[in-house]
Amino acid sequence: MSEIQLATVLLGATGFNENNVNDTFRGQVLTSDGRTRQAIIKDLNLVQLCNELVAQCLAREVGLPIPDCYLGLVRPGILNVTKAPATTDGSKLVFVSVDVKVPNVTYRWQGTDTAGKLALLSEISKWGDLGHLYAYDAWIANIDRHMGNLLFGGDSEFWLIDHGHCFTGPNWQADQLDPDVEYNNRLSEWLTGHLSLDQKRQRATEVREFGVGINGFDATQTSKNSRISDLLPLRNVDALKGFLEKRTARVPIDASKALGVPTMV
């Protein structure tokens, strides 16, 4: 598992609004290895920033497609951000995700007729990692996987984005991270009903395989590689670490329920 790298936001980023909850910009960043990359830059509070960083590390750990991301540094006068945590020199820390230039499902949904919408859902239903996505969202308590938070470019080109509302929400406190609670998996709201019974059963098998793969997961390295051990109070880091490690047991149960094929507790 590789460590989240740093990137410096360059002058010239411009804001855009695609029903974004937080201020979001498109611009360029200079990475620590000297590359200039086109990126999506998000102005997030500290908890949401850390949620994004941890979710990125975990997605890479289990092999799910997620754009490269960076912990972005905004020097004074470069970009007006208001929620981002500040450093001692007055710079701000933002979440940076490489722009993969693929539309989200909401965009494609709104731009087509009924037949096109059904065809779109059919394509998504056949994605080989779909069961793993149900399990991943159950593991990280992602309560916000609506259509806009899944990019789909056709030919099985999928990307997971926007994880600021993971781990129960955007403003969690250490004493709120209960690994034994069932959290809302929004895939059940807009996708599960379009899966056939055979597809649900197949995805449930993938969910169980995912659960086996994360059994005994140790989040110590994740805390370091995501950089949250440098950003959050130790109490919160320990709470999130314990949440991820203990929650692995609930993944097959909650994800299978979201698929409509509940398993025995």
Task: Say if residues 200 and 192 touch (Cβ distance below 8 Å).
Answer: yes
Calculate mean pLDDT across residues 143-156. 92
Q: Tell me, yes or no, whether 109 and 88 share the same domain.
A: no
Q: What percent of the chain has pLDDT over 90?
A: 93
Is the domain of 168 the same as that of 243?
yes
Q: Does residue 230 share a domain with residue 117? A: yes
Of 73, 98, 123, which marks where a domain is finished?
Answer: 98
Span 79-107, mean pLDDT? 96
pLDDT for residue 17 = 76
Establish if 264 belongs to a structural domain: no
**In terms of pTM, does the model score above 0.85?**
yes
Q: How far is 234 from 156, CA to CA, in rounded Å?
A: 40
How does pLDDT run across 38-77, given as a tens digit for each residue?
Answer: 999 999 999 999 999 999 999 999 999 999 999 999 999 9
Q: What is the mean pLDDT of residues 241-260?
A: 97
In a domain, 265, yes or no: no
DSSP state for residue 28 in the 8-state scheme: E
Residue 215 belongs to some domain of the structure = yes
For residue 51, tell me if it sits in a domain. yes
Check residue 262 and give its pLDDT.
Answer: 79
Mean pLDDT of 63-92: 97
Q: How many CB atoms lie within 10 A of CB 23?
A: 19
User: Is residue 163 scored above 70 in pLDDT?
Assistant: yes
pLDDT tens track for 204-213: 999 999 999 9
The DSSP line for 130-167 is HHHHHHHHHHTT-----GGGEEE-STT-EEE---TT-T
Residue-level pLDDT at 265: 45
| pLDDT value at 21 more than 80 | no
The sign of the torsion formed by the CA atoms of 91, 97, 102, 108 equals negative
| Residue finishing a domain among 98, 132, 156 | 98
Q: Which residue has the tokens 């909650």?
A: 254
What's the mean pLDDT in 94-119?
A: 94
Mean pLDDT across the chain, nearest whole number?
Answer: 95
Q: Is the pLDDT of residue 2 over 90?
A: no
Tell me, yes or no, whether 234 and 109 share the same domain.
yes
Q: CA 87, CA 211: separation in Å to the nearest integer?
A: 38
Last residue of a domain, one of 37, 71, 98: 98
**Quick one: 127 and 232 in the same domain?**
yes
Let me know whether 225 and 173 are in one domain: yes
Q: Are residues 240 and 113 in the same domain?
A: yes
Residue 151 and residue 49 in one domain: no
Per-residue confidence at 22, pLDDT binned at 50, 70, 90? confident
Q: Do 73 and 118 fall within a single domain?
A: no
User: Containing domain of residue 182, as a range?
Assistant: 105-258
pLDDT band at 1 (very low <50, low <70, confident <90, very high): low
Read off the pLDDT of residues 119-149 as tens digits, 9 standing for 90 and up.
999 999 999 999 999 999 999 999 999 999 9
Residues 34 and 109 grouped into a single domain:
no
Query: Would residue 86 count as lying in a domain?
Result: yes
Does one domain contain both 177 and 232? yes
Within a domain: 253: yes
pLDDT in tens, 218-246: 999 999 999 999 999 999 999 999 999 99
